[in-house]
Structure 1
Amino acid sequence: MISVCHVITDTNFGGAGRVLLNYCKTYNRADFRLSVVLPRGSELLEPLRQTDVELIEADGLYDRSYSREDVRNLAVIFRQHVFQLIHAHGALSARLAARKCGIPVIYTRHSVFDPPRRATRFPIRQIQGFFNNRYADGIIAVSPAAKEILAATGSDPRKIRVIYNGVPPLEPGPGVYRARFSWGPKDLVLGIVARLEEVKGHHDLLNALALLPEPIKLLIAGTGAQEAALKAQCRALQLEKRVVFCGFVQDVAGLMNSLDVQINASYGTEATSMALLEGFSLGIPAVVTDFGGNPYVVESGVNGLVVPKRDPHAMARAIERLWEEPGLRKQLGAGARAAYAQRFRAEMMTRQTEEYYREVLKQYG
């Protein structure tokens, strides 16, 4: 029995938390014993309580990668328990504490963003590379794009293993949002599931929608700092009757079953979108920008269409093509379902992660 402790510092229930939760639901209980250290009062606590993993609430940690206090507190926790491996979800404090206690450590890079140029040059590249190489026995990148950035900023590529995020399949069912707004079979319903932040590209998507025919509708799921600005843009573009702001959506299946096409318009941060994978499980094709991990998930012409980032006209042309060609939409939907089955199931992510655990422990001696 291998005892693994995950450390996550997020107080919100974001992408890293969803990846961890999916792992906790599908891990090999015959070979592994799991614990999770997380901030006291984190939003992730309640979902994790529905699993059988040991939960350790810690003071501090709150949404920060490093503090001396966190290193000290985590070292105490690690010494009080018999952990054979630490898995840090970004948290540098956990990596330093693991080293302090002589425990092998893996960390996952969940994000992809364009690093500043100075981060890829001397001496910042060497400093970052030192910390990543010295304080990790293995690194998981959730996308080849994440691995490329890690290598460009100094991490040893030989230490990096690409393991895509995996999700449980959504259940097919009624499209509750289509019914709620009386959208019929002649309407093409788009959906974007993302934080309402500048870099997620919602403004570009609204500009694209303004170029498209009236039967094309849009559901926007999520909350964030850009909500007021996006609603103002809708009014300015006279899109109020075609766009619905859904806020935070708990019934993800109900939302996804309402969609014909999913959109990802990111241009500043995107690794392996969990929402895209959930849509794939239902056979929903996607139109995405060519940023970050998107092109590694969506193969243009196979399970969706890829367009240049920050190009509303290109986005509009791709969406209009899927509206005008239902046969193509059906074909891409079948490709999306096949991609999910072959690459993005939660069980696949779990199996690959546990294989990597064993490799790292074997190398550690």
Structure 2
Amino acid sequence: MNTMRHQLSSQRFLKGAVFSLYQLAKISQKLGSVSSSRSLHSVAHISSTYFSDYSQIGGGERYVTSLAEAMANYVDTVLISFGPTRKSLKQGKLRLEVYPASGAVTNPTSYGFLQELINVDLVHCHQYRKSVTNLAIATSAALRKPVFVTDHGGGGSKISDAIPLSKLLNGFLLVSDFSAKSLPSTKTSKVIYGGVSNKFIAEETYREKDKRILFVGRLLPHKGVNYLIEAIDENVQLDIVGRAYDEQYFALLQELSKGKKVKFVTSANDSEIVETYQGALVTILPSVYVDVNSNQHVAPELLGLVLLESMACGTPVICTDVGGMPEIVEDGVTGFVVPPNDPTALRERINWLVNNPEAALQMGQRARERVIEKFTWDSVAKRCLEAYRQSA
């Protein structure tokens, strides 16, 4: 009971703090608009993800770190995140500051990090509906700092629904056109997409592919892996690479795999994942809006970084017509787009690639060329910096 009272008290204090800062920001706005086109020397990226063993690290979390590392080559960049203890680290040119936080791991609350915002020119928050983002938006605007948000899906805080914090933003920088659907409208929204790190594109990949199907990602119901297992024939090898975060769902996948050539790899380092991508015939991301448990997911895949990683390694992809994935997969050119929750459609495309390995290889090379042209992190950082300057 005491714990519940403490949580309610903390939530009320947080909402009061954000509202007070919001009011200050509105007064500050009356002094004149905040321009992001002024001299830009330093940027703070803020990620609500815990830097600890308890984090559910997925594409959204990798996105923040990769973008900040690439941006550090152009301006002084600090990545602010949260964990059990205070830490200051360096990753190449990137400065990483980890602040202690309370509350849920997926939605931490912290106030100490706000001091970092005083000495930067611009603030870029990741994840819109998070407590630290609510605080950062209001504080940045009160300090007359340009502030942007890139959302990667997921909730946690309802404060931004009660207080119109989006009115304080210089803009949303979107990972896809689709991602705009879950966000309030602002005067400025630009799509900057996402990218892949150099380790995926460092070496040419003209090797012959195994007739092996690949899935990489967290094993959660909205990923639709059960439909992929249903789709494969008994003589086709399927490698499923990813951690199981839902024991009940993992048990279902294991049951569906009986009698089929399915291998689960729940732990793999970066070099192993690159090699796995390179050797696969095709990588498949079969995400769904309605999962096997009949639960609905409004934004199961805002972009699909796994697809870009595979394409960078010269391996074609199959994705479902879900979220932002069709924006990066050119159907029939770099891979295929199929309806969600449809094992038959998946099976047809898988078997076509199995029976046409040369065509699969050509698709993979076109996919790699597309990534190198548009989806490196350096390209994303440049698009992001340009959006900062344009969104006055």
User: Normalising to structure 1: TM-score of the pair?
Assistant: 0.79
Question: For 1:263-302, what aligned pairs fall within 5 Å after superposition?
Answer: 263-267=284-288, 268=297, 269-302=300-333
Q: Secondary structure at the match of 1:336?
A: helix
Q: Structure 1 residue 112: deviation in Å?
A: 8.2
| Residues 187 and 283 (structure 1), Cα distance of their counterparts in 2 relative to 1, 3 Å cut | closer
2:117 maps to which residue? 78
1:4 maps to which residue? 43
Paired amino acid for 1:38: S
1:142 to 155, 159, 175: 175
Q: Structure 1 residue 97: deviation in Å?
A: 2.2
1:253 maps to which residue? 274
| Residues 311 and 280 (structure 1), Cα distance of their counterparts in 2 relative to 1, 3 Å cut | same
Give yes or no for contact 2:312–2:368 (8 Å, CA) kept in 1: yes
Give yes or no for contact 1:193–1:222 (8 Å, CA) kept in 2: yes
| Residues 332 and 130 (structure 1), Cα distance of their counterparts in 2 relative to 1, 3 Å cut | farther
| Residues 344 and 239 (structure 1), Cα distance of their counterparts in 2 relative to 1, 3 Å cut | farther
Q: Structure 1 residue 345: deviation in Å?
A: 1.3
Q: Which runs of 5+ in 1 are unaligned?
A: 114-123, 175-184
1:177 maps to which residue? none
1:20 maps to which residue? 64
CA distance in 2, matches of 1:248, 1:52: 29
Paired amino acid for 1:78: L
| Residues 335 and 227 (structure 1), Cα distance of their counterparts in 2 relative to 1, 3 Å cut | farther
CA distance in 1, matches of 2:81, 2:275: 30
Q: Secondary structure at the match of 2:213?
A: strand
2:78 maps to which residue? 35
2:363 maps to which residue? 332
Q: Secondary structure at the match of 1:283?
A: coil
| Residues 298 and 131 (structure 1), Cα distance of their counterparts in 2 relative to 1, 3 Å cut | same
Give yes or no for contact 2:209–2:280 (8 Å, CA) kept in 1: no
1:95 equivalent in alignment to 2:134: no
Question: For 1:225-244, what aligned pairs fall within 5 Å after superposition?
Answer: 225-226=245-246, 229-239=249-259, 242-244=261-263
CA distance in 2, matches of 1:357, 1:288: 31
CA distance in 2, matches of 1:256, 1:186: 10
Q: Secondary structure at the match of 1:340?
A: helix
| Residues 75 and 231 (structure 1), Cα distance of their counterparts in 2 relative to 1, 3 Å cut | closer
Question: For 1:154-193, what aligned pairs fall within 5 Å after superposition?
Answer: 154-156=184-186, 158-169=187-198, 170=200, 171-172=202-203, 188-193=211-216
| Residues 232 and 20 (structure 1), Cα distance of their counterparts in 2 relative to 1, 3 Å cut | closer
Give yes or no for contact 2:125–2:136 (8 Å, CA) kept in 1: yes
Give yes or no for contact 1:173–1:254 (8 Å, CA) kept in 2: no
Q: Structure 1 residue 172: deviation in Å?
A: 4.5
Q: Structure 1 residue 296: deviation in Å?
A: 0.6
More displaced stretch, 10-19 vs 55-64: 55-64
| Residues 226 and 321 (structure 1), Cα distance of their counterparts in 2 relative to 1, 3 Å cut | farther
Q: Deviations over 1:187-221 (max 9, x none)?
A: 51111111110000011111112xx250x111111
Q: Structure 1 residue 227: deviation in Å?
A: 5.0
Give yes or no for contact 2:308–2:371 (8 Å, CA) kept in 1: yes
Q: Structure 1 residue 301: deviation in Å?
A: 0.4
| Residues 286 and 87 (structure 1), Cα distance of their counterparts in 2 relative to 1, 3 Å cut | same
Paired amino acid for 1:244: K
CA distance in 2, matches of 1:186, 1:75: 50
User: Normalising to structure 2: TM-score of the pair?
Assistant: 0.74
Give yes or no for contact 1:167–1:346 (8 Å, CA) kept in 2: yes
Paired amino acid for 1:94: A
Q: Structure 1 residue 329: deviation in Å?
A: 1.1
Give yes or no for contact 1:308–1:314 (8 Å, CA) kept in 2: yes
More displaced stretch, 194-203 vs 158-167: 158-167
Q: Secondary structure at the match of 1:284?
A: coil
CA distance in 2, matches of 1:239, 1:257: 26
Q: Deviations over 1:240-297 (max 9, x none)?
A: 5x11111132132122123110000111410222221111112110111000011111
State the superposition RMSD in angstroms. 3.0
Give yes or no for contact 2:72–2:94 (8 Å, CA) kept in 1: no
Give yes or no for contact 2:314–2:364 (8 Å, CA) kept in 1: yes
| Residues 83 and 326 (structure 1), Cα distance of their counterparts in 2 relative to 1, 3 Å cut | same
1:60 maps to which residue? 101
CA distance in 2, matches of 1:103, 1:302: 43
Q: Structure 1 residue 224: deviation in Å?
A: 2.5
| Residues 270 and 331 (structure 1), Cα distance of their counterparts in 2 relative to 1, 3 Å cut | same
